[in-house]
Structure formats: structure tokens, C-alpha cells
Structure 1
Amino acid sequence: MPALGAAPLRLTLRAWLTGPAASDLGAAERLRAGLAVAAAAAAKHAAGPGARANAGTGEVLRANFLLLCDAVAAADGHLLAEEELCFTAAFRVLPAATQCLFLRLHPRRGPWFRLGSLAYSEVGDAAEAARALADAKLARLLERAGAADVEAAVNVLTAPELAALAARLRLLPAGRTSGNSRPQLLAAIAGALHADPPATGRLRGAKVREELVRAVGPCVRLTPSAAAAARRLQRIFFLHEGHDLSRFLVTDLGTACYPRYRVWRTRPVWRTREALLAYEAALEHAALLDAALEAGNVAAAEAALQPAWAALYAGEHKVPPTPPRPPLTTYPAAPSPLASGAGRGAWPAAPFLRRFSAAWVHVSMATAGVALREKQRRYAEAADLLRLLLGGECCYNRRGEWWVRLSIDTEHLGRPEEALEVAEAALADEHICGGERLDLQRRILRLGKPPRRWRKPAWASTLPRDPPEVRIEGRPIASVLGAKSQFWSADGSAVGVEQLALLHYATEAAGGWRGMHCEGGVWATLFGLLLWPALFAAVPDALRSSFQTSPLDLSTPGFYLNRQAIIEARLAEVAAGAAPALLREAWAAHHGVMCVGVNWERQGVEELVEIADCVGGSSLAGVMRLLAQDHAGWAGGMPDLLLWKRGESTEDLGSARLAEVKGPRDALSQQQRAWLAALASAGLHVEVLKVVEPGTAVRKHRRR
């Protein structure tokens, strides 16, 4: 891109909404949205990376925030109300230095900031900029604040300052001027500020307020309405609670690099402002629930769950049906190709955008609420709630978990026949796969013994058997309760159970394997590099901003179904042995670019190529297909260790195996069993390595 002042930059705007979906936005709105996106891209790149980096951090934030406001107003203007419009209007007329101060303070915790500690080169005089913000009603100064704000401002004081203030106000017990904790000092000051005896109390409260303002000094805070408006604009633009203007900043300064792809929007995420506000309220409820659960406060958790229960009983989660999962691997057969486009015309457009709905958030909260009731052994209530969740259409990737929990809770209630019927009904759910399906099948075989069932299901003979088991002896080191187990290695050093296993496999007696403890890490990197064209293919509404490291539909069935031709063509190349060339090509073209799952530091490209050669094209394609068909379902449970070694001739590319490592008291989960079976079906050697304590019989290659 030319630098500013160089040759003019020509922009070409093509229609990017066509067909029936175009009716969601009028022609004028589409044109304005396209122009805003094009203008933002042009302004962002016209100066060149060097010029943008030299502009200063605050100036970069300011310029990009104005572009963000323009893009949101053009593409999602129907979501903006008076508060956002007033905020952006007031913000635009502020001096550049004042705008920079607002954007510097917005992501910080606060809410109050001492002006004396604010030093930004692009702001200059922080006190003057703060007064301008206050005059525009985007901030408050401490001397103009009310009692509640003054109380919050006390948090900027250090512990010694708090102690000195409390001593001045004579709030400490006689003879005790030190050793008070920060919470004690804050509580004493707050109590004095809100003292409520008659006249003397009011005078005392006023005096305390004056002393607080004097002790804290000049301070500024953003008004809640301005902070909320800025937060809402960023939420609409980024669609990610962890993203803010720093995404622009790290990109412009060259600290981070996002993939290049076509941003393609055919519809708004929220059709009405009411839907957006409901989503935001649900996020606040979820945050309260998370905080309460983390603190172990059951009463607060129950209070936070009330909106979720109300939404669930009102049927909010019963939205139009989502697309079915694609056919998945049946054991022990390998994955089979899917029929192209079957029934696609009947599916609602962009169903993955429903995750940005209040219903979706409330269902996630309700799932946590079910777990809370199960911990309290309130199994009847938990079972009723699970039936409600299964009657809806949100969070379909959780349906397997719900079915399993419902069967278990019903069994806890002493109703094994009903628990069996629940498990049998669950197998007809098209969203059940992997470890959850295997778990349900095993439950059916256990609960369905005569006289409940006299005949085994037809699929019983196809259930995967447990893989071979290798046992090695490990001398445990006494550890703190709850800490990860450690063992003595042959050279006398302390190692974890996985490292002990790697040392075993590296010995000549065990085969001299190279290896790593990676679980799914290396497979995620291989997936990202080999399927890069599919990840960032032009699929409507999957890539909605320039700051995504994965498409929005990655963890849904639509990821595979919408890109089936691209994925299968790529996997055919992998199966034919082209993985090394594809990896080198992707590494050279995208090195350093952020992509979901890709770790550029853990392995070099030559090590990845060696792993791909040893795994083999057909097996590698099978694993990648599983991850593409159901990325969320297969996200966990991959074996701990990946082992490989080169062949002894040029014709022999090498071999690989995977091992799940278990300590003396560990057992396989159903998801781990499902992964081991799927990998074995793909042609890979898998086994379980069991570390046993001295004196335990060591058995090798035991098959159950």
C-alpha cells in the first residue's frame, strides 16, 4: 500500500450480499456497510506499517476506534440507540489528546485513576484532558463525585496511605495504629463515611468525605454510561468478550499477525437491539455465576442462576432446529465420506450465530446449575432440568453430556430400568458421538443384563476393545495431597508420570522411540497447517471481522458440511503422501500468523514433516477428518504421548504409535477410549502405559 501523500489509492467495492439473504439489509445499508469496511481497510493500510508504528500507541488506538465506530454504525446501526449515538457524537468532537486518554483508561480496571500517575505522551496534560472528558460528560472528577464514588476512590490508596488516613480520622482502636489489614481499614473508612446518627453523624460523614478527597488527590473515572457504550461498540464489532482495541494495536505495531481472508457478512448477528441487550444481560448473569462458583458461594450461585431457570421454564431455548451432525465414525470402521449437501436447503442460515443469543448463555448456565444440584445429591431436580434442556435446541454439543448425566441421575434415584431406557433413547440423538456415545453404549450393556434385556444390541459386537496395556514400575515420591504424582527416574531425578513413560520408550529395550507429551497439541498444529485453506475459506458469516483466528462455525457440524469439497480434496492429497510438501508450503506462507491450535514455537517444520511421514498419509488424513467433522467433540481425550522413529531405509518412512499414560490409581475415560479406538481404526498403533508401584505385577501387552 502506498504511504500517505503518494499516488492515490483506488478502491473497488463489489456487491457482497446477494440472493435471498440480501433482504436482511437494504441496498443503502449494504452500500454504506461496504464503504465503511473498505474505507477502514484503506485508511488502516495506506500509511504503511512503519508509519502506523511511528504514530504512537494512543494515536493508533484513537484512529482505529473511530474506524470501528464507523463500521458498526454502517453495518449494525439498527442496534445503536441514543446512548451510543450521543457517546460517539461527544467523543468525535473531543481533542485528540482527550480521545486518547479515554481509550487509555477504558480497558484498565479502575474505576478511579489518580491523575498524577497518568503519563501518556500522546495525552500531554492528563488533568486538562480529564477536565475535557468531564465537561463532555464522559468522565467524572473526584471533587464533583458523590459519596458512593468517593468510597470507591479509596481503593487507589496504598495500605500505608489507608492506615495514615484511618489514624487521622481516629477510626482505629486505641493503641492500635499498625497491623490492620487492608479490608479492615477499608471497612472502617466506609463505616465512618456512611455513619448515620443524627446531626453529629452527618457532620462526621462530611468531614470524612473531605479527608478522603484530600488524601486521594485529583482523580478521574469514566462514566458508567460512556464505558458501557464503548464496550457495546467493541462487542458488536469483535463478537468476542476477550477482544478489544488492543487487537488493532498489536496488528498495527506488528506484534501479532492475523490471517488474511474474505470478511463476508450476509446478516446481522442480532436482528434487534432487544436481542443484543438480552445477550449482554445473560453474559452479566453468567459472570456472576462463575464468580460465585469459583468462590464456593452456593447461595450466590443459586441467586445468579435464577434468570437461567426463568428462561428455561419459559422455553427460551426452544429455537428453530439446528442442522444435524454429519455421519460419524462407527467402530471399528474408518470414517466414511459424507453425502454432499443432503437436506441443506432446509437448514436455517448461519445457525452458528445463535451462540450469541441469551438462550445459548442461559443454557450453559443451566448446565452448571445441574452439576451444582448433582453435587448436593438433588438428583430428582437435576433429572427434571436435564429433560428440559434436552427438549430444546441450544448448545447441541452438550447433548451427549446431558443424556449421560440424565441416565446416571435416574440410576441414582433407584430406577435402573428407566436409566436404561434413557441411554437407549440417547443413541437415536444425531448429536451424540465419541466418548459420550461409547459411554452410553457401555451403560446399556451393563444395565441391560437379563432379566431387563435378554438379547444384546446389534452394535454390541462392534464396540472397541481396550487397547494393549504395557506396565512399567515407578518409584513414587511422596507428594502433597492434590499435587501431580512424581517418580524417581533411573538417574535419580524427579519426573512426572508422562516423562517417566518417555524415558521408558526411549530405551533400546522398548524400541528407542522419539516422543513428546503433547496430548492434542501437535495434532492441532497439523490440523491448522494442513487445512488452512478450509479454515479460512469464504463461507457466509463465518469470518465476520479481520481479527479471527478461526471461523465461527469451527465447533459446529456446519464447518465440515460447508467446506466438504475443499476438505476432502485436501485430505486426498494428505492420504496420497503430500503432507510433507503441504506442511512446508503452509509454514513458508503463514509462519507467525495466528491460527487456532497452531503453535509456531513448539515444533519446527522439519519435525512436523518427520511426524507426518512416520504417522503415514492415510492415518493422518483419518485423524484430520475426525477433527474436521466434529472439532468440538474430539477436542479432548487424545493420548498423552506421540512416539515416532524413522525407518532404516529410504523406502521406509518410519512408524508411529500413541500411548495413553496412567498412574497407579488412574483409569481410562470414555473419551480416551473413543480416541484410542478411532486412532486404531485409522491404522495407528495405540496402547496404554500403566505406571505401577514396586511390588505390583508387571504385565506387558495385556489385551482385555
Structure 2
Amino acid sequence: MILNGEKGCDNFEVFKHLWQKVLQVVEFAKNRPPNTTKYQENFCLLLQEVLRSSPHLFTDDEKKFIESFTSLSEDSRRLFVRLYTRKGPWFRLSTIMYPEVCNCQQAVKELSANGYICLFEDITELPEDDMKNLLSLLTVSELRDILCTLKKKCNRGSRKQNLIASLLSCYKGGSCPVLPHLILERTDICTRISSEAESLFWRAERLFFLNGEQDLSAFLLVDLGIVKYPTYNCIISEQIFSSKSDLLAYEEAIGVAQIMDQSLDENNFELVLRCIMIAESRISSSSEKLIETSTPELMSTFLSCFSASWVYSKVILLGISFLEREQRYNDAIHLLRRLLNCFTCDRRRGYWTVRLSIDLEHMGCPNESLSVAETGLLDPWIRAGSRMALQRRVLRLGKPPRRWKTPSFPESIKRNITEVHIQGRPLNCEAGRKSRFYGEDGEQCGVEQLALQYYATEGGGWQGVHTESGIWLTIFGLLMWNVLFSDVPNVFRTRFQTGPLDLETDHFYLARMSLIESHLQKIHDGLAEEILITSWELHMGTACRGVNWDRHSLSDLRAAVSCIGGPCLASLCRHLAQDYRSWSSGMPDLLLWRFHGDYRGEAKLVEVKGPRDQLSEQQRAWLLLLMDCGFKAEVCKVSPALTST
């Protein structure tokens, strides 16, 4: 579950880029020993920064515990950081050997004495989870040896996980209480990070990075020069968590969300329903409402995703999808109404309202479904594709005798979108599978590549790329770089951000309105290519939200910007600045351009659909918006060529 943003897909390209960098670090580490001193310094820096910025979120004892880390010996600090960054939770003490730790045994004693690690030496009873983790330290031969000692059946070809499961079953059933001793005989002393240290340092990392994805490796990527973050100023005037109770509630909500994800993966429906019940009770009993205002005075609105209520709303939304799949529409309707009542000013209201209208229709309540759709159209928080979906529902459900008055919007959403029809030789025509065709060169390709080939030849000599939202978000990021990383309070809180925290909220445009409009005027007046080149040269390779340096060349970006023209670019960038969340997905598949002479060109955007595909509401909304902005936009429908018999 993505807990600091609604759509995981928005950050997929950034994630993929960073993952490639992580692989580079792994390869780099094979050939060069890590700078453990730097790791240690970064860890201490993280702890100091969190204690400095958020002292109110820790008790005096917790602060003393964290501060005591710096008073440990060099060996102990190095060993702890090593263990903390390794996959555990348990480690065999006999295998812990690091060249930078001079006296490993002494370091273990000091860490244990100060509560940073715990040892498994003479424990006779352990929770089942710990027992499973301890068993995973053993080799297959050691596991078989224990089973033989216990006179349990052991097949020679059994996999390690099956052997562990057999031993766990025996231990849980009470038939082998000596299992901990048998493990200890083979592993000798084992150690793990203590629950107190793990909990406090996990909290410190989350407070430092503000997400669950980044960790100490982010420092390493920067130290090695593999990832470069943008330059910006962190101007912090208010806390994300005003009290420790808020933080603890948020952490509890994250725990419920993680259980929900795991339960859905494992089809544990009983636990799914339990998570839904907990989440509903939490948002119902809380007086907190996530309010995102349309005025710039209230600065904390874009930080709402760090509240427990916001996380619980995500859990409930997952629960609604589950209930709809189970055709429990009454329960889904109840939860959707609860969300709409509790989160009155939320960007997600559009999706919730559409689902509520659809589920009511499933329940045989067309009048109520229509009423929900009509009310939703009056909601200023419902935009883009969700708004268009509601408009189309009103037109379909609101025919006489339910409604005699024609709404004011039919003509706008029923506008004709140009369609181009092409044919290709199909590779497969199976329902449920992505359509594949043979291209002009005889190679297999998708419908988008087939369309690119058509437009490059008989379709008019166009150049172009299949990119969907990618190239547009790259262009937006490069053209609006100075706006994205301008000085705005509270939107930059760590040195490891690729964009401001308010990018997907109304606050982004409102807090920078004069700067944005001034910048858009330059783009409108024809300076886009110059801005693009300057931004590329100054920031090449720097991680930025939406910008993909590897996928798009500067020459392609320059050609696209030149052919699109200033007025269209300015209009598109304005829409993204005003509502990045709504408009950063669903863009047409193809961006095409062609030149007429040296200085004049034109551009076209094309949504490609295969034989069994239909336009989504978001895609239709995008095409109509682009037409309003002055773009040439069309749909290319690919169908199998008729074969002669």
C-alpha cells in the first residue's frame, strides 16, 4: 500500500530509475569495501536530526536511549549499524565477522548490556514467530538432523521451508519442548536487534524520510554519486505530528494497513473484515477530518496523508474493493457513505462518489444512484475523469420519466473525437490478453508500435514516441523546475525529496500562483525550448518527480516542445500545476510531431485502442481537455485485417 500518495503508478518510473541505481550500488560494493565510517556517520546524523526537529515525539527515556548510541564504543556502533541494515531478525554470533570491528565479542557484550541487542542463549520458550526465524538460520542438513533426533519423519528431498514447517508444527503442538535447546546446540549464541531499539530507530527513520520506502541506503546512493537530489531550501514552520499521540495513532494505522495488505494477499477474509471494522471505528470515533482547503492560509492541508485517519481511509477503500468483488454491495455502500461523510474536502471524493453511484445501481436503486451522481457534480473536489463519469451516468440514468430537464453539459461531453481506423495482421485475438500484431518489418509488436509505424508512413510522416504520461511529466518537470523547487514553507522537509509534498494538492498552485503564471507567460511567448535546454544542462541526472532522464533524449524533447508550441504547452502546464493528481495519468499513448521547414512544426496526440479496448473516462477527459487547449487529438483504433477465404 502506498501511504503517502493515492496512486502508486505515479512514482513507478522514478522507482524503476532508483532501483537501477540500487543495482549499481550492489555491483559497486562487490568491487570496493563499504565506507563503514560514513554509514555510521549517516546513522548518527539521522538520529541527531530527528531529535533536533521532533523532540516532543519522544519520552525522556527514549531520548536518552537514542542519545546513548553516540557514547558507545566505535566497534559497538559499527557492529550495530551493520546488523541494523542487514536482513534478520536473528543472526548466528559465530558468523558475525567484519573487518572494521576489531573486537566483535566485546561489541556484542556492550550492545547487549545497553539494550541494543538481545541474545538467545538459554531461552526455553519463544513466540512462534521467533522460533520460525531461528529455524531459518539452520542449514537443510541441520534441520534434518533435528528431525532425526526427534524421531520425526524426514524425506530426503524435502525443501527447507517444509522442514521448518514440520518442526514448527511439532513445537506448537507441544510434542518437542526441547526444540530451542536443539537449535542452540547447532547455532551457538544468536543475537537480534532488541525490540526497543528496532521500534525507536524505525520511528526515527520514518520521521526522517517521511515514508516507508527510503532507508539508510539513500545516504549511500548520494555518497557514491549514484543518485543526486535537487537543491532546495527546507523552510519548516510547523510540525507534521503535533503530539506523540498523533504519531502513535499514525503508526498503529500503518500497522493495520500492512495487515490488510497481507490478509488480501493470503485471502484471509476473516482478517480483512476485522481490519475494515477497526478502520471504520477509528475514523468514526475521531473528531479529526482531513480538510484540504482552497485558501493558502492553512498550510498543513497537504500534510494530511500523515494522519491516522488518512491511512484508515486507504484501508477502508481496499475493503470496499474487496466487498464489491464479493458482491456485498450493501456493505460497500455503507463504507462509501462513511468516507464521504468523514472526508468532506478530499481529492478522492470523485472516485468514492462514482463507486457509490455504481453500487447503488447494482442494488436496484437507479433513482438514488442518479441523485448521488447529480449531487457529486456540485462537489468542487470532483474533477477530471471522475466528473466526466458522473456526467455520463446522469445522462444515462436521467432520461424521462426520471428527469425531464436536460442537463447543461451534454454537448460538451458528447463532442466528437476524431477516429482513425487501421488494420494489422494479428498474432493473437484471445479475450483477456493484450493484443499483439505483426509490424511492417514482420516483427511482433503491440498496437501502439503498429500505430507509430502507420503514422510514420501512410499516416503522414510523423515522428513520435509511445510514452503515455511519461514524456509530458518529463516536459512539465523540466519546464517548471524552478517552480517545483522554489522556496515554499513546509513542502520540503528532508534532503531526499524528488518534489514538494504539496504537488498533488490545490496548495501547489495557490502557494506559487504569481511565480507559476509568470513562468507560463514565458512558455506561452515561445521561450519553452530555451527553458528546456537550460534545465536539462543544469540538472541532468538529478532525481525529480516525473522526469525520466533515460527514456527521453534532449533532441526528442526539443522537437516535441518546438512543434507543440507555446500556447498549448502553457495551457497544459497550467492544468498540471493546478491539479497534478487528476491530470498526471490517463494521457494519450502517442505524442507525434513533424516539421514543416526548419522552424515550423505541428504536434498530435493519439490514444491507441486495440480490438477489445474502450476509452476510460479519464482518457476521454484528457482528449477533450487537449482539444480545449488547442491540441490536435484523436483515437486510433486497430483491428485485425480481414483474411480472404
Matched, 1:610 2:591: no
Q: Which residue of 2 aligns with 1:417?
A: 367
Find the aligned partners of 1:277 and 1:491 in 2 and give their Cα distance.
Answer: 60
Give CA-to-partner distance per residue, 1:173-215, whole Å, 9 cap, x none: xxx531223333112222343453xxxx5xx522x32221122
Find the aligned partners of 2:266 and 2:340 in 1 and give their Cα distance.
Answer: 29
Question: Of 324, 337, 356, which aligns to 1:374?
Answer: 324
161-170 vs 540-549, which moves further: 161-170
Q: Which residue of 2 aligns with 1:158?
A: 139
Q: Aligned-pair distance for 1:315?
A: 4.6
Q: Which residue of 2 aligns with 1:660?
A: 607
Q: Aligned-pair distance for 1:58?
A: 2.1
Flag the 1:73–1:504 CA change in 2: closer, same or farther, 3 A: same
Q: Larger radius of gyration, structure 1 or 2?
A: 1
Opposite residue 112 of structure 1, the aligned amino acid is W
Find the aligned partners of 1:603 and 1:574 in 2 and give their Cα distance.
Answer: 20
Structure 2 unmatched ranges of 5 or more: 1-31
- Matched ranges for 1:488-527 at <5 A: 488-507=438-457, 509-527=458-476
Flag the 1:458–1:151 CA change in 2: closer, same or farther, 3 A: closer
Matched, 1:276 2:247: yes
- Matched ranges for 1:633-644 at <5 A: 633-644=582-593
**Contact 1:317/1:393, CA 8 A, preserved across alignment:** no
Question: Of 279, 300, 303, which aligns to 1:308?
Answer: 279
Question: Of 121, 128, 131, which aligns to 2:109?
Answer: 131
Find the aligned partners of 2:468 and 2:101 in 1 and give their Cα distance.
Answer: 48
Find the aligned partners of 2:145 and 2:606 in 1 and give their Cα distance.
Answer: 61
- Matched ranges for 1:519-668 at <5 A: 519-647=468-596, 649-652=597-600, 654-668=601-615
Flag the 1:457–1:177 CA change in 2: closer, same or farther, 3 A: closer
Q: Which residue of 1 aligns with 2:67?
A: 89
**Contact 1:150/1:213, CA 8 A, preserved across alignment:** no
Q: Which residue of 2 aligns with 1:359?
A: 309
TM-score under structure 2 length normalisation:
0.90
Residue aligned with 2:582, SS: coil
Residue aligned with 1:350, SS: helix
Q: Aligned-pair distance for 1:216?
A: 2.7
Matched, 1:185 2:163: yes
495-504 vs 156-165, which moves further: 156-165
- Matched ranges for 1:287-306 at <5 A: 287-306=258-277
Matched, 1:679 2:629: no
Q: Aligned-pair distance for 1:482?
A: 4.9
Give CA-to-partner distance per residue, 1:441-463, whole Å, 9 cap, x none: 11111111111111211222322
**Contact 1:110/1:221, CA 8 A, preserved across alignment:** yes
Residue aligned with 1:524, SS: helix
Give CA-to-partner distance per residue, 1:597-619, whole Å, 9 cap, x none: 11111122222111100111111
Q: How many residues align?
A: 610
186-195 vs 214-223, which moves further: 186-195
Q: Aligned-pair distance for 1:127?
A: 4.2
**Contact 1:317/1:360, CA 8 A, preserved across alignment:** no
Q: Aligned-pair distance for 1:352?
A: 1.0
246-255 vs 526-535, which moves further: 246-255
Flag the 1:301–1:622 CA change in 2: closer, same or farther, 3 A: same
Find the aligned partners of 2:131 and 2:439 in 1 and give their Cα distance.
Answer: 59
Residue aligned with 1:141, SS: strand
**Contact 1:131/1:141, CA 8 A, preserved across alignment:** no
Q: Which residue of 2 aligns with 1:13?
A: none
Residue aligned with 2:242, SS: coil
Find the aligned partners of 1:376 and 1:442 in 2 and give their Cα distance.
Answer: 26
Q: Aligned-pair distance for 1:639?
A: 0.6
- Matched ranges for 1:100-179 at <5 A: 100-148=78-126, 149-172=130-153, 176-179=154-157
Flag the 1:146–1:238 CA change in 2: closer, same or farther, 3 A: farther
**Contact 2:435/2:611, CA 8 A, preserved across alignment:** no
Opposite residue 339 of structure 2, the aligned amino acid is L
Q: Aligned-pair distance for 1:151?
A: 4.4
Q: Aligned-pair distance for 1:141?
A: 2.3
Q: Which residue of 1 aligns with 2:404?
A: 454
Flag the 1:483–1:131 CA change in 2: closer, same or farther, 3 A: farther
Flag the 1:126–1:486 CA change in 2: closer, same or farther, 3 A: farther
Find the aligned partners of 2:599 and 2:406 in 1 and give their Cα distance.
Answer: 46
TM-score under structure 1 length normalisation:
0.83
- Matched ranges for 1:378-457 at <5 A: 378-393=328-343, 396-457=346-407
Q: Which residue of 2 aligns with 1:22?
A: none
Q: Which residue of 2 aligns with 1:477?
A: 427
**Contact 1:317/1:394, CA 8 A, preserved across alignment:** no
Q: Which residue of 2 aligns with 1:487?
A: 437
Find the aligned partners of 2:551 and 2:163 in 1 and give their Cα distance.
Answer: 48
Q: Aligned-pair distance for 1:237?
A: 1.7
Find the aligned partners of 2:510 and 2:387 in 1 and give their Cα distance.
Answer: 21
Find the aligned partners of 1:389 and 1:451 in 2 and give their Cα distance.
Answer: 31
Give CA-to-partner distance per residue, 1:258-277, whole Å, 9 cap, x none: 11111111011111100000
Find the aligned partners of 1:395 and 1:300 in 2 and give their Cα distance.
Answer: 30
Flag the 1:84–1:687 CA change in 2: closer, same or farther, 3 A: same
**Contact 1:311/1:317, CA 8 A, preserved across alignment:** no
**Contact 2:75/2:101, CA 8 A, preserved across alignment:** yes
Give CA-to-partner distance per residue, 1:503-539, whole Å, 9 cap, x none: 22222x1112112110010111111111111111111
Find the aligned partners of 1:500 and 1:216 in 2 and give their Cα distance.
Answer: 60
**Contact 1:259/1:593, CA 8 A, preserved across alignment:** yes
416-425 vs 305-314, which moves further: 305-314
Find the aligned partners of 2:107 and 2:346 in 1 and give their Cα distance.
Answer: 50
Opposite residue 666 of structure 1, the aligned amino acid is D
Find the aligned partners of 2:133 and 2:345 in 1 and give their Cα distance.
Answer: 39
Residue aligned with 1:391, SS: helix
Flag the 1:483–1:94 CA change in 2: closer, same or farther, 3 A: farther
Find the aligned partners of 2:431 and 2:86 in 1 and give their Cα distance.
Answer: 38
Residue aligned with 2:348, SS: helix
Q: Aligned-pair distance for 1:144?
A: 4.3
Q: Aligned-pair distance for 1:418?
A: 1.5
Q: Which residue of 1 aligns with 2:21?
A: none
Find the aligned partners of 1:420 and 1:317 in 2 and give their Cα distance.
Answer: 30
Matched, 1:222 2:170: no
Flag the 1:466–1:667 CA change in 2: closer, same or farther, 3 A: farther
| Identity level (%) | 39
Q: Which residue of 1 aligns with 2:14?
A: none
Residue aligned with 2:372, SS: helix
Q: Aligned-pair distance for 1:322?
A: 2.3
Find the aligned partners of 1:646 and 1:390 in 2 and give their Cα distance.
Answer: 50
Flag the 1:395–1:163 CA change in 2: closer, same or farther, 3 A: farther
Residue aligned with 1:632, SS: helix
Q: Aligned-pair distance for 1:101?
A: 2.0
Residue aligned with 2:342, SS: coil
Opposite residue 489 of structure 1, the aligned amino acid is G
Opposite residue 291 of structure 1, the aligned amino acid is Q
